[in-house]
Structure 1
Amino acid sequence: MTDQFVNGNTVKQANRSFILKDIRQSGPITKIDLARKFDLTFSAVGNIITEFSEAGLIKEAGYGESSGGRPPVLYEMKWDSVYVIALVIGVREISACLVNLKGEVSDEIIAEEDSKPLIERVYNLIDQLLERIAIDISKISGIGVSAPGPIDTTDGKMLTPPNLEGVRNISFQRLLEDRYKWPTILEKDANAFALAEQWFGDVEPNEDILYIYNDQGLGGGLIIDSRIHRGIGNGAGEIGHMVIDIDGPKCNCGNFGCLETLSSGIAIQRRVKEEIRRGYPTSLADDYLNNGKEPTIENIVQQAEEGDKLALEVLHEAERYLGLGLANAINLFAPDQVIFGGMVAKLYPKMINTAEKIAKERALSPYARNIIFAESAFNHQSNSIGAASVIHQKLFDYPEGTII
């Protein structure tokens, strides 16, 4: 009897999830269409629709075509019925904002790097956000956090990110849940951004994707069978720490010749500074040598566009290494899409074209030529949408107990 109850309850939970996801993806839609799609009785669908309506998650949206008799009611999402606090931990800054069920960002606050402990800066940022927002606070369903890896998703801990000095074993999930009383999920940044592409970008539900986050550091996220592929210890997708050159530069992770040391924002800046110190003639030298201003990615890309030889050579070198790394990743995972985000990809989209050409030339499978290479569907807000997506997935997977 108990097993029958558990199994029946589990089926009902699954049906709720299927129906809510389908209203999100296909709405406006009628109850009869949902019943046919999921092979459920009209009564079962009606009960679930009533639950969602009473919880304020969906609304009536007119009428469908009648096949005789009264026309059926159409249902669609109420996008502003639920919000998530999206917290983004970056190398240079942290940000917090609200994100609704449609992936729309509002009330974003950004804090630049300073000397305070990271968790204190996070508390201050979320407190400021809560003071600013105009929505009913009861609409907030959780806090999604994206942060550089490695992380422990089981305990919600940020471990020892190589590009964030002094950050070690911060229990974000416990600390934020204790302070704010909302469910909190911590996710590796590239995984979160990959999830955002699946939920809100130009990715079909059945497509596997490799997300490349090329910013100050370089990371990767994998979506396989509509789920983040984690691997043991949440270590899957770390393309930035794939060794490309065994005699290459030392990485912040302690290894040598990682892709991150050859193609990331930090790597590009380091190479330019090295060549300037060697006396390479470049328009970037004066500010660095005489004014102590380090060349930024923005400066380097701008000078490349104006024909600076050093800037062009360093960027081309980074493109080639990235293409080689992607060829290796394609041989391992054979994704349907490779999607690029982060500052470097945004400022220098030519890198995507070159990396695609090299990766497809070097990958083994003849099907590699069919892989789609694309820039992220989002602008700078991909970070925030990614952080929110980790909560969105939980809400739609398990609507009972979370949003109904």
Structure 2
Amino acid sequence: MQGRTMLDLGLRNELLVLDLIRHAPDGTSQSEVVRRTGLSRQTVSLIVRRLLDRGIISTAGTVTVGRGKPATVLRLVPTAQLVAGVHLDPSAISLVIVDLLTSVVTERRLPAPSRDPEGDVDRIAAELTAVTQTLHEEGWRTPDGRDVDEALLGIGVASPGPIDVTRGVIVDPPWLPGWRDMPVVKRLRARTGLPVVLDKDTNAALTAEMWSTPQPTGETVLYLYIGAGIGSAVSVGGTVHHGAGALAGEIGHLPTGLEGAECSCGRRACLSLYTDGAALLERAEQLGVPLPDPDLPTVERLAGLTSLAADGDAGARQLVEDFGLALGEALRTLIDVHDPHRVIIGGPNWAALEPVALGRVLERSRHARLRRPREVEILTSQRGDDVGALGAATLFLQRELSPAARG
């Protein structure tokens, strides 16, 4: 086991200071940074000077607290650096470029991943080049005058699992046929010249939720991801739990207790039979529900299904309510397992189903098996249906700028 060098400690201290300033939307003072981090005044002063010189933070007037002399306010400069995020969703490839607060600078949507992953990586790299060229032509610059190529730190990639985070390989994803053992990190790095990180889309989505809000020490957050498939992620104190093989959170085959068809795994009424977008639409067609045009994206067809349910179509209503009951039953189990402080439900398909399904989710999940000292807070994600791409970008920010990621 290697010891931590002074360089490691210096970097972690710098990230501690930057993290505190980032989480202060109205700015903070150097003395407050000293108080909150426990670092010496001299150490904080040196770090602040370096961050100011690099244009990552700026001064924004002064503030007087108590009887002391006015203190200079320090604020993050969000557009000092940029990061790209790529989400390999089965329905489309999403690409975003965001700033340090994950505000979107630009975004693109490409056709769904094909059975030719090498060709898809070429498409992603070409689109990233085109996007940065457009920003050049539009005159985009950081506040201190650097262009987009100088500001772009790297790329985060979010993919359905299973994946190998350490090797940067998409292992054998049932939702991405043809991508077995694809070294996406190595390939994308070779084509762009930028550092690349990879994680599951469920973990990426949770990381995006946590990036803008400080996580209290020890707080457990459970995220339910409603996309082409169903997944979950858990964080404790701001750190996402991956498990021994990055397979934590695979919940598609949890039993629901409902009466249902046989699953491909050999059991009956698995969660994915009620929650996967394609499965929902297939059952709707079998019931003769008048769905929107089959050429429309899945999320739009699911929104149409929910609209029919709200308007009283019996078949549509039953399907969306079964979705909510199955999800609520799974959530009840996960709450018993993880004992979270908060639950966040999101993902590309959630907004389309939430209007009718949420009530059923809450109804079933709150029939607790265990007596709890407090009620678990259940929230809907505020990150929108592009949370996968935003989360992918945040993965890179988390690796580069979070003190927790540096140990």
TM-score, structure 1 as length reference: 0.87
Report deviation, 1:348: 2.1
2:317 is the alignment partner of 1:312: yes
3-state SS of the aligned residue for 1:168? coil
Which consecutive unaligned segments of at least 5 residues does structure 2 have? 141-146
| Residue 236 (structure 1) aligned to one of 229, 248, 252 | 248
Report deviation, 1:252: 6.1
2:325 is the alignment partner of 1:327: no
1:329-344 map, 5 Å: 329-344=334-349
Report deviation, 1:9: 4.1
Q: Which has the higher helix share?
A: 1
2:313 is the alignment partner of 1:275: no
Report deviation, 1:222: 1.0
Change (3 A) 1:124 1:7: closer
1:60-75 map, 5 Å: 60-65=59-64, 71-75=70-74
- The letter of the residue matching 2:197 is I
Report deviation, 1:343: 3.6
Change (3 A) 1:247 1:318: closer
Report deviation, 1:234: 0.8
Cross-structure match for 2:387: 382
Cross-structure match for 1:17: 15
Task: Decide whether the 8 Å contact of 2:96 with 2:393 is kept in 1.
Answer: no
Cross-structure match for 1:119: 118
Report deviation, 1:24: 0.4
3-state SS of the aligned residue for 2:370? coil
> For 1:399 and 1:338, how far apart are their aligned partners in 2?
22
| Residue 358 (structure 2) aligned to one of 352, 361, 364 | 352
- The letter of the residue matching 1:370 is E
Cross-structure match for 1:279: none
| Residue 298 (structure 1) aligned to one of 297, 300, 303 | 303
1:280-315 Cα deviation digits (max 9, x unpaired): xx445x978xx9x99931331121122110000111
Cross-structure match for 1:397: 402
Cross-structure match for 2:35: 36
> For 2:79 and 2:392, how far apart are their aligned partners in 1?
17
1:79-99 Cα deviation digits (max 9, x unpaired): 001111100110110011201
3-state SS of the aligned residue for 2:179? coil
Change (3 A) 1:395 1:208: same
1:194-214 Cα deviation digits (max 9, x unpaired): 111111269656532111111
- The letter of the residue matching 2:358 is I
Cross-structure match for 2:188: 176
Cross-structure match for 1:361: 367
RMSD: 3.0
> For 2:245 and 2:194, how far apart are their aligned partners in 1?
25
Report deviation, 1:123: 2.4
Report deviation, 1:384: 2.0
Task: Decide whether the 8 Å contact of 2:29 with 2:74 is kept in 1.
Answer: yes
- The letter of the residue matching 1:223 is S
- The letter of the residue matching 2:152 is I
> For 2:405 and 2:235, how far apart are their aligned partners in 1?
25
Which consecutive unaligned segments of at least 5 residues does structure 1 have? 277-281
Cross-structure match for 1:264: 276
Report deviation, 1:50: 1.2
3-state SS of the aligned residue for 2:44? helix
3-state SS of the aligned residue for 2:287? helix
Change (3 A) 1:202 1:73: closer
1:222-246 Cα deviation digits (max 9, x unpaired): 1122101111101111122323359
After alignment, is 139-148 or 378-387 more displaced? 378-387
